[in-house]
Structure 1
Amino acid sequence: MPDMIEEIRTASREMVRQLGFMGGQFAGTDLSPSAVHSLIEIGAGRARSARDLSRILRLGKSSVSRMLARLVRMGDLIESADPDDGRLKVLHLTETGQMRVQAIHAFGRGQVAGALSRLTPEDAAAVVQGLSLYAEALAPGTAAPIHIVQGYRSGMIGAITAMHARHYARAWGFGQGFEAVVAQGLSEFCTRLDMPGNGIWLALRGDEIVGSVAIDGQDMGPGVAHLRWFLMEDGLRGGGAGRGLLAAALAHVDGLAFAETRLWTFAGLAAARHLYETSGFTLQDERQGNQWGTEVLEQLFVRRVPTP
């Protein structure tokens, strides 16, 4: 064990240096690591306020306030009053900030792709699993592990609807109309859950539903699987459970005679898009829409039957 500990510490120090945490250009920008992480978390919808950033980044309130003030001055962020709590300032990326986040992600993906290209597929898979497990083990607390299960659970419709409503209200301002659409669609789907091709998978922490995904094998016509209601609870993304949910759903699709899998989402969900694209989905169509109660650029992603 002592040798293993020292090897991990040495590798961690080298990663910190190679990724630029010690100074100079970080993620291809002239920003501090905390500022880069803040832009990413705000852009992904995981941080809505300075309070959220303090918790996620484990930084003091004064440090976060100074860093956010600089990002506002640079034109990357704007702050607005929370309609539900006038004392709280809600953070939003400006167009400049969105472009900066896109550039940060492109730079980071290039770093990772370059490193993985020098590994065998087996070693690359081991890196992904090992880093996810190590990051989870470093996290404080003794939260119950997350397990993925298939099929209906009592209270599932309400839990999944509430999870979607909370997240998209915080991150995108979706309201009652969105929640009603989710509840109605999910309720109707569950009446068909026992029909061939349909399935639903849940991420459970203890008895609590913290993630979901479904495959609807009927509503888009013969030979087409519709991936629906894919979401992990706020604060639990990045640990591998979301990827596990998606993998379970796509394994179900690949085991049946579906020619393709489709999903509808909207622009701005960078982390989700990356996960879709690494799972074989490609963007096929874009259109403005307001079915969720807010005008967004809706996107259709399609995954064809994997070739042998």
Structure 2
Amino acid sequence: MFPTDPVGAAREASRRIIRELGFLQDRFVEGGVSHAECHALIELGKHRRCTVGELAEILRLDKSTVSRTVSRLAAAGYVTTATDAKDARRKPFALTASGKRRLAMIDRSAGGRVNEALAALGEVDRSAAIRGLELYARALERSRLRAELSIRPIQSADDPAVAALIRTVMPEFGAKGPGFAINDPEVDNMSAAYGGKRSAYWVVERGGRVVGAGGFAPLEGGAKDTCELRKMYFYSEVRGLGIGEMLIDLALTSAKRAGFKRCYLETLENMTAARRLYEKKGFVPLCAPKGKTGHFGCDAFYERVL
């Protein structure tokens, strides 16, 4: 039965898991290390070598905290500074023999506790529990990553980053050569190209870096009441976070406010995730292209009423 308060139920279950696994204790009893140190050992065991910065990113902790954590592990003889043959400037850490033994002890203890819990469940419930935890963890990660993103109107200073985005993403889907938007003259000067009253273009930022973009403009060679959703691309690191849907909603709302009645777009059949999103947002497939965009390399066409 679905809980009447899913947020409260998820929070309560999270608290119970944290308490049952002993995460409120200062140290991981069997391992003799703090929980942060325990996680650092696990990740060093998994990745073999990591810098403080890399561990900070993985553990979701600031570098100063991780630096102190690694220093304590080094003092205990569990980690040591390693070398990177490809990059002498990189200073990774690696597990010592003592650190590997300590990690094995942690794995036996923690693994045994989880194994006992899963053994108490039937096969169906066990699979459901594992799947539920995976989904929950993934949802928390997506929520965190999405909160790091922001959308704002393009500025002239963004032009090089947007051009690089377009020229990086389009070839991933085979959209290069004649007949594709990658060759449009506006690619190097997007801020000016979309500076008109009936055009708009936005960039998606993460930590001051442009990781996505998209906009709309009147459909070239088309009806005056029809706009085109244009050059909407995202680096792989932010795909699947829902930012594409947010940007489409912003573009459609703005296009309607600008007086357009319809929105048209061109894409590729092999951009399956994008096409699913377009259809989710009400775009209907067309049998043939509209307007005179010059993008004869595209093979999928959509339109929706605003």
| TM, length-normalised to structure 2 | 0.49
